[in-house]
Chain A
Amino acid sequence: MARLPQWQTVLKQAGILLLASGLAATVAAFSISLDGPNVIQEGEIALADALLRQPPPLWIDARSEAEYRNEHIPGALLLNTEEWEALVTRVLEKWEPERTAVVYCSAPGAQASREVAARLRDFRLGPVFVLHGGWNVWKRK
């Protein structure tokens, strides 16, 4: 004969599991927002803040094409200073007005992404930020 558990027991146990999951998820989300070794500088954005942007940010990968092809943030577009002319058109096609663009690279001091971000700001299409901690923060997430 089948014995179903009492619904009060099911609800109580489910509540405990939901609470524990919520707490763990909060800690995980908070740990991502703490990523990056230094204080966020002007023009930079933390990964957690970028992910919460509405509409979702336009990710710009300022590394080399080889690095981009190896691995990149899903949906990111390649745009570096070496191949600027060839690559910028596609970025401008995808960049809707007011959508936040977030540039990342793996260079020390984020030099590549700072340069790309500076050039993108000249188009005045929307806010442009450099990802604080760059590609390494994404990999550590």
Chain B
Amino acid sequence: METQMMRWGKTALRIALGVLFLYAGGRKALDPVSFLQSIENYQILPYPAAVASAFFLPYLEIFCGTALALKRLHAGALALLGALVCLFIVALLTAWLRGLNIDCGCFGLGDGKAHYGAALTRDFAILAALGFLLWRDDSEE
């Protein structure tokens, strides 16, 4: 049985995550070419796919972040954001293993330096939070 406090906690977590993705997506959507550069730095995707991703991913974050914050279509948003964060984690890990010294590009262009430990810790924390919200979903949609 969930207490009122737990429900408030879940609501606060959902809104915080939604705003976080809205912010991250918004920054990238305002500067897609810099985000393209960030994707290119990972040296994973062929150039046309990197261009498509540079335009698509920011809007996916914006729409999913909004859906999460407003609790509309939020089960789908949780699943998509979870998959997206998994992709980010894999990209970060492979970049780290290949010894690339790159900015993660998580919030648009950063300081140009690698902070893999911090970025991975943040992504795993976000993934855990998304998983928790999906697991404890109480949507009536």
A residues adjacent to B (C-beta < 8 A): 2-5, 9-18, 20-22, 24-26, 28-29, 32, 47, 51-56, 73-75, 138, 141
Contacts and interface: CB of A to CB of B under 8 A. Distances in A.
Q: Is the interface of B mostly helix, strand, loop or mixed?
A: helix
10 contacts: A4-B137, A5-B137, A17-B60, A25-B58, A28-B32, A29-B32, A51-B36, A52-B51, A53-B47, A74-B109
Interface stretch (B3-11, B69-77, B85-93, B114-122): B69-77
B77 A17 contact: yes
Interface residues of B, number: 38
Given A2-B136, A13-B73, A25 B47 contact: no
B107 to A, nearest CB: 16
Contacts of B40: 56
B80 A18 contact: yes
Contacts, number: 95
B55 A28 contact: yes
B63 to A, nearest CB: 5
Contacts of A13: 67, 73-77, 79, 141
B135 A2 contact: yes
Contacts of A28: 29, 32, 55, 59
Q: By CB atoms of chain B within 10 A, which of A10, A13, A29, A74 has the most?
A: A13
Interface in B38-79: 40, 46-48, 51-52, 55-56, 58-60, 62-64, 67, 73-79
Contact of B37 (A5, A11, A74): A74
Given A13-B74, A51-B33, A56-B47, 12 more contacts: A3-B138, A5-B134, A9-B75, A10-B75, A17-B63, A17-B73, A25-B59, A26-B55, A51-B36, A52-B51, A75-B37, A138-B33
Nearest to A11: B76
A13 B74 CA distance: 8
A14 B64 CA distance: 9
B24 to A, nearest CB: 14
Contact of B32 (A4, A16, A54, A141): A141
Contacts of B32: 28-29, 32, 141
Given A9-B141, A12-B76, A17 B64 contact: yes
A37 B90 CA distance: 41
Q: By CB atoms of chain A within 10 A, which of B33, B40, B48, B55 has the most?
A: B55
B48 to A, nearest CB: 6
